[in-house]
Copies of this chain bind each other. A is one copy, B any other.
Amino acid sequence: MIDLDPVIHAPVRLRIVSLLAAVEEAEFGFVRDAVGVSDSVLSKHGSALEAAGYVQLRKGYVGKRPRTWYRLTDLGRTAFRTYVSHLQEIVSTSGLTVLQPEATPPVGNPASGVP
């Protein structure tokens, strides 16, 4: 029996990962607002994803202010795709074809964010 990666399955982390799958990197504050959680919640889930090796945290500065950027690792990207296909496998038992009705698109992320 297929099991859904528990690291990704948590609603907040699913949102984070889905968001990050679309871009090169995203700022902490942007992710926090997009996902709709508090600082502490994002920080905790971010750490969980980092511990799993799914995201990478890059610390830097904007001017003199510290910033953190989140970025999906290759492992995280793979885990996400696997998760989605497992999800589809489960949901497809219902007869609904919902996620990913097309052949797997290239998610190699050629040019998403800003260089």
Contacts and interface: CB of A to CB of B under 8 A. Distances in A.
Contact of A19 (B60, B85, B94): B94
A18 interface: yes
Tell which of A14, A22, A60, A81 has the most Cβ of chain B within 10 Å: A22
Given A11-B3, A30-B107, A62 B97 contact: no
Given A11-B3, A107-B26, A98 B96 contact: no
Contact of A103 (B19, B60, B112): B112
Interface residues of A, number: 60
Contact of A100 (B24, B98, B107): B98
B107 A102 contact: no
